[in-house]
């Protein structure tokens, strides 16, 4: 018996001794690719757009981020040399942002001229009729006083932290002040990629057919005899799952939020990139719709309360491609000293009107899309995008909710 006890204590020590030493990479590079079928809505406030995903412009988008633990010997410079099929020239400059004085980060509720008023009604689930226990009511004034709404739920999504200036000796990204060109409509990521600079080891990786931009989501909503709204979309190849939300308001005192989840879900990080493993988990939990699903019914009560200008935001999650150099040694006694890692992630997004005016907006969007594809236009001029938004009667309440969910 004593021998068995001694062995039981020895095994954990033996396993611990054989654990491989893993050193973090010198450089981390992320390529985030989005296919957007956005919709501009006149009068939408930044607060409302932020809660709903902020989808405004159509087209293909990229965000390139490079973080390195090497300091440059001189002014930092780095470039991403792209495949010819991207139609953006030989390379894209990764600009290092100018360092601004660091301020103490504090999370606080937004300032307001008075106590926030109004409430939000939270709904969920596809179907003509509501599920039991709906809606959950969020009182903005109570939230403003620090009271957490009873029964409110939002899931945490496990996702790695991306490159950041605060966690790197040197950082660069694109688009930036030097180069902010739009990605051409027919631009492709397929082919050889190379990242080089004076503060990073040279990075090389290649992307194939299944690692290009996702297809565009073609989203359509039509009324049903029950008063509900039938939402349909195309099956996006390589998509790992889908998620949808609706937000609208018929009065200054009431906002309606709905999600396609089978259980209560406020959305949170779900309108952004989500790792495939997390998407698979959320599909099993029936929070995210399976990739085979191509329709969902927004309940009649949600459509009625949300009003004619209610907006539906939709996301198709895509796959990830991960690269590392050098490969992990098979011998656990040999340390794994990583030189660089690369993550390429994908999503496809869309939005549409649910209520009155949806048909007109869809026709207008289709005409604008055809014109843009033919001319390969750039996004709208910055001057137009910077116009002051119309007043938002529930701005304070929406900002408070964004603070609760860390968005």
Coil, helix or strand for 260?
coil
Lowest-confidence range among 4-13, 157-166, 243-252, 365-374? 4-13
pLDDT of amino acid 114: 58
Q: Confidence band (pLDDT; 50, 70, 90) for 5? A: very low
Q: What integer best gives the mean pLDDT of the chain?
A: 81
C-alpha to C-alpha distance for 239 and 268, rounded to whole angstroms:
20
- Does the pLDDT value for residue 399 go beyond 60? no
Location of structure tokens 């000293």: 337
Coil, helix or strand for 197?
strand
- Does the pLDDT value for residue 340 go beyond 60? yes
pLDDT of amino acid 58: 80
Better pLDDT: 359 or 37: 37
pLDDT of amino acid 293: 98
Name 394's Cβ contacts closer than 8 Å, sequence gap at least 6. 48, 116, 118, 120, 140, 249, 252, 253, 255
The Cα angle at residue 278 between residues 315 and 135, in degrees rounded to 5: 60
Name 212's Cβ contacts closer than 8 Å, sequence gap at least 6. 188, 189, 190
Name 151's Cβ contacts closer than 8 Å, sequence gap at least 6. 133, 136, 264
Break the chain into its structural domains and give their ranges.
22-95+115-379+390-404
Peptide bond into 135 cis (omega under 30): yes
Whether the Cβ atoms of residue 60 and residue 34 lie closer than 8 Å to each other: yes
Rounded mean pLDDT of 62-73?
Answer: 96
Helix, strand and coil percent figures for the chain, each rounded to 5: 20, 30, 50
Handedness of CA 325, 163, 268, 142 (dihedral sign): positive
Give the tens place of pLDDT for each residue, 252-263: 788 999 999 998
Give the tens place of pLDDT for each residue, 124-183: 999 999 988 899 888 887 777 766 766 666 778 888 999 999 999 999 999 999 999 999
pLDDT of amino acid 397: 47
pLDDT of amino acid 362: 47
Handedness of CA 354, 359, 365, 370 (dihedral sign): positive
Better pLDDT: 294 or 43: 294
């Amino acid at each position: 018996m004593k021998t068995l006890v001694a062995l039981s204590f020895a095994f954990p020590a033996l396993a611990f001794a054989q654990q491989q030493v893993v050193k973090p990479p010198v450089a981390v590079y992320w390529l985030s690719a989005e296919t957007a079928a956005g919709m501009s809505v006149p009068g939408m406030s930044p607060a409302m757009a932020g809660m709903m995903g902020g989808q405004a412009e159509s087209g293909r988008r990229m965000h390139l981020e490079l973080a390195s633990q090497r300091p440059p010997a001189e002014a930092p410079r780095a470039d991403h040399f792209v495949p010819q099929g991207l139609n953006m020239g030989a390379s894209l400059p990764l600009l290092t942002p100018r360092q601004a004085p660091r301020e103490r980060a504090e999370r606080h509720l937004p300032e307001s001229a008075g106590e926030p008023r109004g409430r939000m009604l939270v709904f969920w689930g596809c179907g003509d009729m509501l599920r039991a226990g709906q809606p959950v009511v969020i009182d903005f004034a109570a939230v403003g006083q620090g009271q957490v709404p009873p029964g409110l739920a939002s899931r945490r999504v496990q996702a790695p932290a991306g490159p950041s200036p605060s966690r790197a000796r040197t950082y660069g990204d694109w688009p930036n002040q030097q180069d902010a060109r739009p990605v051409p409509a027919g631009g492709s990521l397929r082919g050889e990629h190379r990242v080089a600079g004076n503060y990073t080891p040279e990075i090389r990786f290649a992307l194939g057919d299944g690692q290009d931009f996702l297809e565009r989501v073609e989203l359509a909503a039509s009324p049903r005899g029950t008063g509900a709204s039938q939402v349909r979309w195309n099956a996006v190849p390589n998509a790992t799952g889908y998620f949808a939300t609706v937000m609208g308001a018929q009065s200054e005192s009431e906002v309606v939020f709905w999600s396609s989840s089978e259980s209560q879900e406020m959305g949170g990080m779900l309108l952004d990139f989500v790792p495939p493993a997390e998407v698979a988990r959320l599909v099993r939990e029936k929070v995210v719709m399976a990739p085979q699903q191509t329709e969902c019914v927004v309940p009649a009560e949600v459509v009625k309360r949300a009003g004619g200008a209610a907006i539906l935001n939709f996301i198709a999650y895509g796959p990830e491609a991960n690269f590392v150099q050098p490969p992990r040694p098979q011998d656990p006694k040999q340390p794994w000293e990583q030189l660089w890692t690369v993550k390429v992630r994908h999503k496809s997004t869309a939005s549409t009107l649910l209520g009155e005016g949806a048909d007109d907006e869809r026709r207008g969007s289709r005409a604008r899309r055809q014109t843009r594809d033919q001319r390969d236009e750039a996004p709208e001029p910055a001057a137009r995008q910077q116009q002051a938004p119309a007043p938002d009667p529930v701005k304070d309440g929406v900002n408070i909710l964004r603070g609760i969910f860390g968005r």
